[in-house]
Structure 1
């Protein structure tokens, strides 16, 4: 019997190994030095942007309740942690199916010094958490020339 094997270059063991290595280093990257060294189950996608008045961080957290997300700031390091516990159950006459997804995540960001940490706000809509970090108002140049008498 002749068996023909087709190789898919995107589905090799080498690719899988690199995916695991990337996942490991991405997990380490998200941790601040004061956190215990653990590998998190997933890393949410993040978008950051800046305006004249604030910095914005958006995290994609589909299916995660806002009660399961914790946002904190310590020494200008903003940390977002959370967990996902999704259980989908489907019962029919001829079958029963349960799909579960569990995991934790954490992302940390070092903020610039000139931010208003007392007025950071967060909101959640359609699985996207947006954090608004206001900038401190910087006074215009108030240099005044003093004449020598």
Structure 2
């Protein structure tokens, strides 16, 4: 019978990922919170960069959104305003988001904060971040006696 060492925290990373997925995918209307999870973000990576795409329909000018990258955390914050407001008594159904939003996601790789480019087209904000290249591994010479 083979002995397997006991590692009590072996699955913690998997649990964290599952909890993040559960709460990020949980519909905003069930939580009663428009801001949390109202804007979905897709993050993928290529060999050279990390790309984040976020649906932000209704942005009118670039000053309405702020992008912040610190370490491996991407944060989007801003506001979506409605210019043609309808009186409350005339409103029958309200589903479209407006107001302030704030969203943070963990990036899969370290990125170069100076190499970030963002573009907004057809209601989608795309952020391209150049990956930091890891330093080359150094071979350690062993003094063998």
> TM-score, normalised on structure 2?
0.58
CA RMSD of aligned residues (A): 3.6
Give runs of aligned pairs for residues 39-118 of structure 1, distance below 5 A.
40=35, 43-65=38-60, 66-88=62-84, 102-112=98-108, 114-118=110-114
Q: What are structure 2's unaligned runs of at least 5 residues?
A: 1-26
Q: May I ask how many residue pairs the two structures share in their alignment? A: 111
- The alpha-carbon distance between structure 1 residues 82 and 125, as it changes in their structure 2 partners (threshold 3 A), is same
- The structure with the largest alpha-carbon Rg is 1
Q: What are structure 1's unaligned runs of at least 5 residues?
A: 1-17, 25-38, 90-96
| Alpha-carbon separation, structure 1, partners of 2:76 and 2:31 | 21
Q: Which of structure 1's runs of 4+ aligned residues deviate more than 3 A?
A: 18-24, 97-102, 139-142, 144-149
- The alpha-carbon distance between structure 1 residues 77 and 42, as it changes in their structure 2 partners (threshold 3 A), is closer
- The alpha-carbon distance between structure 1 residues 74 and 48, as it changes in their structure 2 partners (threshold 3 A), is closer
> TM-score, normalised on structure 1?
0.57
